[in-house]
A and B are shown apart, each in its own frame.
Chain A
Amino acid sequence: MKQKTDVLQGTLALMVLKTLDVLGTQHGYGIARRIEQISGDLLAVNQGTLYPVLLKLEQEGAIASEWGASENNRRARFYRLTKEGRKQLQVETKDWEQTAAIIARFFEAKAEDLS
């Protein structure tokens, strides 16, 4: 149970970073919407789980936040990617691609390849 959230949180963090990289400064709702749009129904997580991840990233210094006005003129917290976050995104993207590639090769491998 716990392990699953860990994996999820790890990937969720990467999604948040990528979203902020693409869209620039964004509030929590915006990030949630964007992730939902891209992943469609495949990623049916509660939007609430986003906030602990945002906090963790902020504490690590990957993102920064400040108060601002939202589109309907309410007080909202806006998040943006920091320089450090951009670096982290690059590293993690590479890591992710590598992992994905390895996994993909595993699935493509047939019995005769290994003999």
Chain B
Amino acid sequence: MKSLRRFLTRLFNSAARRQQEERLRDEIAEHIALQTDENLRAGLSLVEARRQAMLKFGGVEAMKQDYRAERGLLLIENLLGDLRNAARSISRMPGLAAVIIVSLAIGIGVNTTIFSWIQLILFEPMPAVSGAANFLLVEPRTETGGYPGASWPEYRDLQAQLPALRDVVAFQMVPFNVGESSKVERTHGQLVSGNYFSALGLQPAIGRFIRPEEAERPGTEPVVVISYDYWQTRFRGAPDAVGQKLRVNERDLIVIGVAPRDFQGTMVPLKFELWAPATLAPALLGGTRDLEDRSIRAFSLLGMLRPGATPEEAQAQFSTAMAQLARDYPEAGAGIGGEILTFWKAPRGPQRLLISGLAILQGVMLLLLLAVCGNTANLMLARGSTRQREMAVRVALGATRWRIVSLVLSENMLLALLGAGLGAAIAVWGTTALRVAPMIGAFPIQFQTRVDGLTLAFAMLLGAACGLIFSAAPAVHLARLDPQGGLRSSSNTPPRSRARKVLMGVEVGLAMVVLIAAALYLQSFRSARQADPRFRPEGVLLAAYDLTGRNPDAASEREFAARLLERLRSLPDVEAAAIATNVPLDLHGIPARSFTVQGRVRTEPGQDRAISNTVTPGYFKVMGIPLLEGNDFAGMRDKAAPAQAIVNEEFVRRYLDGADAIGRRLQARGGSFSIVGVARNSVYGAFGEPAQPAIYFSYRDRPQDQGEIHLRTRTGNETALTSEARAVLRDLDPMLPLYDVRTFSQHIERNLFLRRIPARMFAVLGPLLLGLAAIGIYAVVSYAVARRTREIGVRLAFGATSARVVLQIIRENLGAIACGTAIGWVLALVISLRVMAKGPLNLPVFLGVPAILLSVATLACWIPARTASQIDPIAALRHE
């Protein structure tokens, strides 16, 4: 209590400092006057009386020091003083400060942005759901390690058998066609269990959520919850949206509520707009048997641990339950176990992939920040040396080592925190840019990255760490200063600082590593762009349709595709048309299937797998992939021909020893197919991939409810086909939207999007880093040269040519730089060998980057050296 009171008073006193000083002065004057009077009365002369009084009082200054220390908070006052001092000395070097602050800000900003992204995925995977990171996925798992999802009856059984989890929810993603005839729009939604919203702990923005009883039995009230964005865009945020009808998959659903603002569903980063009770599945999906059939594993399950339960318990209960289900329902459940997964490890969705990519990116960016720190340390060290005298004077006057260190530290910390502040601003901008991610593939995706307390703390922490890192060298250097030496040595005898050179070398080495990484990445990206896909994407329009909502049978699917193709081919501008289930170079990849083929005996365990695509006749013509042997598939309406397959060259080479493939039998997808043709290899998953074996199946044999229409234009302008294609589809079925319409080139561009983000980052950061390194070298050399003006003057006066002087300066500094370059080069080599194991060494990069770096470094040395050598020797000798 007493100490608190004392602290507060002192804090107050620190503020009201001047007044207190006056009080003390008055008191001292009064004291001495009284003592002088006393002495006068004792018979001393006036002068002597005053002298004695002052002697008796003692050292006024020492006492004032004590008094001051007693009065205020010395630590805080010193700190404030240091900060004022720091602000003054920073404002005296605006250029240098700007370079430091901006480079730190970029480093911290980029790191913070990436951190916010990682944080989003790891800690807040579901926007608007608090504690979302604690949710566990309850995933049935096949023996081969696949995650097939859970069926609705299975979900109902599991609910009672997982006491370690509370409120297990089920959801499945469904495409919805929303709207009236011929104005249909494709939207994504989720069919959810009745406890979905309550288990997630959500409150509706308006209206209410789905009640448990509404998802109990099929055929209940058709209700739907809409997303906040959907409410804003389609209903303009009107409160009377609740109660309105929404036409979804040709059913009238009643809007009962609006989800909270940022909620985007439980399959992040996919963004859903509608949520309907799972029991509406038969009504919305054309009489699907989702709710009864145990073999339709359409749902994902999610639950949170009960307080006190462990994930191990949940896992044990889940395994037991799944084993029981496998015994009870052998056809649907045999061989299916279960696994409890942390949310960010979701088998569906890109979280897993993103996390590893982001971790690498964060690593590279931290390295970059470290390089910035090295640079700053170097600049500060160079500047610190010019202040040796000042520091020596301070030490001589009694400043402790700690005071010197704190002086340097406060200056650097101020710079670092200014940088962190600006960096946070950059991060705010960066995260906002990330939020506006486009549609990737057919699904809307949103990353709700934001700068919150944690990210801000991260930025500030980075700033503080940077400040400490780049303060360390100058602070130690100055604190070790011997005051006598510091005072005596004038500026013309330069202390050779090894620390500066080491730092310069380290910085160059770091720049080397990052530049090589950037160059390798950019080159692989560019070569990917220029690589021949071995099919002709130019002039092809892609568009998707989806019959899921109709729950069609095979015959109607086949008939629909056949009629659609007939109509499309009759269009005057269409050269060729085909339908396929998969498009090469898709972000989500093309599935591979296991198979056996006649004439091939597999010796090693496991199964042969090949990429699989189901296509209509005419597909190879549209894609410009020549058939090397055999023929195209039989027509869509041919009922006589046996089931057919076409394989590619690589398939024949790898599995059939390159021998004749035509006529062989192939077993896959639970049927037998006869190989009728061999297609040329082409790219499937990514540019530059090694040749992959592939099997094409015929749409005739295996009709699908979804399809990607491929149209090759006759005119060269594929986008012109869009409206005609739409018209054709509308004619066939007015309630069916044509969606995801794009040219093949757009398709490729869009799927390179995710790879383009780091490519762009590297494209900006590479040169930036080079620039930073150059600035660092320039600063060090120009400082060192400036301190040797006198020496250079002497050399020139004795007849050295300026070229010689320049050469010597460059040689002195290039040693450290070359050392750093070499170490960085080896490091980059090791990393590249470990990360990109395959392929030959990329010589142009590994020779080109050091060449560029060394020439820039030489230039950065040359400019200050040149300036120094131009000096007039007389002026140089007079210098100081």
A residues with CB within 8 A of B: 27-29, 32-33, 45-49, 51-52, 55-56, 59-61, 70, 72, 74-77
Contacts and interface: CB of A to CB of B under 8 A. Distances in A.
A46 B59 CA distance: 8
24 contacts: A29-B30, A32-B31, A33-B38, A45-B58, A46-B63, A47-B31, A47-B56, A48-B60, A49-B63, A49-B66, A51-B63, A52-B66, A52-B70, A55-B70, A55-B71, A56-B6, A59-B9, A72-B34, A72-B37, A74-B33, A75-B30, A76-B27, A77-B26, A77-B30
B5 A46 contact: no
B27 A51 contact: yes
Contacts of A77: 23, 26-27, 30
Contact of B30 (A33, A52, A55, A76): A76
A70 B34 CA distance: 9
Contact of B26 (A45, A46, A48, A75): A75
B34 to A, nearest CB: 4
B15 to A, nearest CB: 14
Nearest to B5: A61
A28 B59 contact: no
Nearest to B66: A52
B488 interface: no
Given A55-B71, A77-B27, A29 B6 contact: no
B59 A48 contact: yes
B852 interface: no
Contacts, number: 75
Interface string B17-28: 000000110111
A27 B26 CA distance: 12
A52 B67 contact: yes
Contacts of A61: 2, 5
A-B pairs, 3 with minimum CB distance? A46-B58, A48-B63, A48-B58
A28 B58 CA distance: 15
B57 interface: yes
Contacts of A33: 38
Contacts of A55: 67, 70-71
A52 to B, nearest CB: 4
Given A27-B30, A59-B9, A61-B5, A47 B70 contact: no
A21 to B, nearest CB: 19
Given A47-B35, A52-B63, A72-B33, 9 more contacts: A29-B30, A45-B58, A48-B58, A48-B59, A48-B63, A55-B67, A59-B10, A59-B70, A61-B2
Interface size class of B (residues with CB under 8 A): 20 to 34
Contacts of B63: 46, 48-49, 51-52
A98 to B, nearest CB: 21
Nearest to A36: B56
A41 B58 CA distance: 16
A70 B38 CA distance: 14
A76 B10 CA distance: 23
A60 B1 CA distance: 10
Contacts of A75: 26, 30
Contact of A29 (B5, B35, B58, B70): B35
A91 to B, nearest CB: 12
A80 B397 CA distance: 39
Given A52-B66, A56-B70, A47 B30 contact: no
B58 A70 contact: no
Contact of B6 (A59, A74, A76): A59
A29 B23 contact: no
A51 B27 CA distance: 9
A73 to B, nearest CB: 11
Contacts of B26: 75, 77
Contact of B57 (A27, A48, A59, A60): A48
A46 B56 contact: yes
Interface in B30-59: 30-31, 33-35, 37-38, 56-59
A29 B29 CA distance: 11
Contacts of B5: 59-61
Contacts of A28: 27, 30-31
A13 B765 CA distance: 65
A49 B70 CA distance: 12
Contacts of A49: 58, 63, 66
A60 B23 contact: no
A47 B58 contact: yes
Contact of A51 (B10, B13, B37, B67): B67
A32 B28 CA distance: 12
Nearest to A58: B9
A95 B5 CA distance: 23
A46 B35 CA distance: 13
